[in-house]
Amino acid sequence: MTTPIISTTPDSEIVTSRVVNAPIKIAYEAWANPNHLKNWWGPAGFTNTFNEFDFRVGGKWSFIMHGPDKGNYPNECEFIKIEEPKLIAWKRHSKPLFQVLATFEEVNPDKTKVIFKMLFESAEECNKLKPFVVDKNEENFDKLEVELTKMIS
């Protein structure tokens, strides 16, 4: 049985979007292929160790984010919806609990709009993280753009 994507309202979502200079298939690949994802996932200065990346509905994504100064942050996720090349969704099983919905929209053959939504059960849960993650999500997109440039060249 698959986990449904939770219904949210704008006050229980954190949304970051960016138009990137990459075709939709390459933008999607940067998220779907662990050899690319590990290079850019996380805020500036963070690196990753991927323990498991089973890219299918019901598959697990287990990894550790290593902070730039100190700290290792274990993450346990489960993919809940995949629609190549338009959508990837996962549910976190480690705290803080939320779902992620990443969508990809072709702007033109060389540009893709990527929308990254963090979906929370309540506005209260969302507001606990919002002050910390909005800028960090932008840093994540900055790193994504660097990886996309490498993938295209």
User: CB of 30 within 8 A of CB of 128?
Assistant: no
Looking at residue 1, what is its pLDDT?
54
Looking at residue 94, what is its pLDDT?
93
**Residue 65 burial (10 A CB sphere; 0-12, 13-18, 19+):** middle
Looking at residue 153, what is its pLDDT?
87
CA 108 from chain centre, in angstroms, equals: 22
Which tokens belong to 130?
Answer: 């919002």
pTM of the full structure: 0.94
Q: What is the arithmetic mean of pLDDT over 127-138?
A: 95
All domains of the chain, ordered by start, with CATH? Answer: 11-45+79-152 (3.30.530.20)
Share of the chain above pLDDT 90, in %: 92
Which tokens belong to 148?
Answer: 């996309």
User: CB of 117 within 8 A of CB of 100?
Assistant: yes
* Residues 6 or more apart in contact with residue 68 via CB below 8 angstroms: 44, 45, 46
Looking at residue 73, what is its pLDDT?
94
